[in-house]
Structure 1
Amino acid sequence: MSVTNTVVRRASLESCGSDDHEDCGLELILVRLGEQWTVRVLAELAGGPLRYRVLERALDGISQRMLTLTLRRLERDGHLLRHVEPTVPPKVTYELTELGHAFATQVATLVEWSRQHKEAINAAQDTFDASGRD
């Protein structure tokens, strides 16, 4: 995996031209939540530190590249810490920071809400779709 494929860049947010814009924090979180694997990584790490391979196995369907990118983005945002033990091969462990635990708690609330309202949302979509409007 080349370095150029895993470089984490600052999200390009038009409304965050300056970091003091009032919606910049919200947009940064929405960008992170919009990524497919963020919520699942947070959920796995909420139970405690995990080694890279254990995390990879727990996230069925994630590629090594995508897991690496997701972990680096969350690390850059201050949501997790990466620990490397100088062994051969190196043992890499990830754990949530205090900020990461707070984020995971909020995400868990959203996940629970979505589970509780899934049937109502599906019913509303079915009603809308049956109306013939697109």
Structure 2
Amino acid sequence: MLGDDDEEQRARAIAQRVFAVVSTKWGLRVLEEIGAGHHRFRELHRAVDGISYKMLTRTLRELEHHGLISRYDHGTANPRVDYSLTAAGTRLVTTVHALCDWSRAHLDRLLEAPAHRGEPFA
């Protein structure tokens, strides 16, 4: 059994690896699209503008590998695979949206910070 310090270090290490996957160009966008109801590969490809098939495949594998999405292969003659958020993935998307809410609540103050002055937003 892990001690409290060991458990905390392990949790931090896992969180850092998960954040590294989610903070890629496509990670969060794919998670959000799956959460919005786009569950099939082609649906996701159409929904995430600019992502290549190869990058979508890689992103889906990474998100699954880290326990944020689950993949269900229907095993039919015509290949059909669905993706869904796991409980951890759902909670992570909710947490990211809460961070966006925080940002909106403090936007005026944040825009005064040197890092954000005069920058155009895309």
Query: TM-score per shorter chain, which class?
Result: 0.7 to 0.9
CA contact (8 A) 2:41 2:82 kept: yes
Can you list the C-alpha shifts for 1:21-62, whole angstroms capped at 9, x where unaligned? 713123113212321111111111123461110111000111
Residue 88 of structure 2 corresponds to residue 68 of structure 1: no
TM normalised by structure 2 equals 0.73
Total equivalences in the alignment: 110
Task: Structure 1 unaligned segments of length 5 or more: list them.
Answer: 1-18, 130-134
Q: Secondary structure at the match of 2:15?
A: helix
Residue of structure 2 in register with 1:112 after alignment:
101
Change in 2 beyond 3 A, CA 1:86/1:25: closer
Query: How do 1:36-115 residues align onto structure 2 when only pairs under 5 Å count?
Result: 36-48=25-37, 50-115=39-104
- CA–CA distance in structure 2, aligned partners of residues 74 and 67 of structure 1: 10
- CA–CA distance in structure 2, aligned partners of residues 115 and 67 of structure 1: 30
Counterpart code for 2:50: G
Q: Secondary structure at the match of 1:126?
A: coil
Aligned identity (percent) is: 37
- CA–CA distance in structure 2, aligned partners of residues 60 and 116 of structure 1: 28
- CA–CA distance in structure 2, aligned partners of residues 20 and 89 of structure 1: 44
TM normalised by structure 1 equals 0.67
Q: Secondary structure at the match of 1:50?
A: coil
How far off its partner does 1:79 sit?
Answer: 1.1
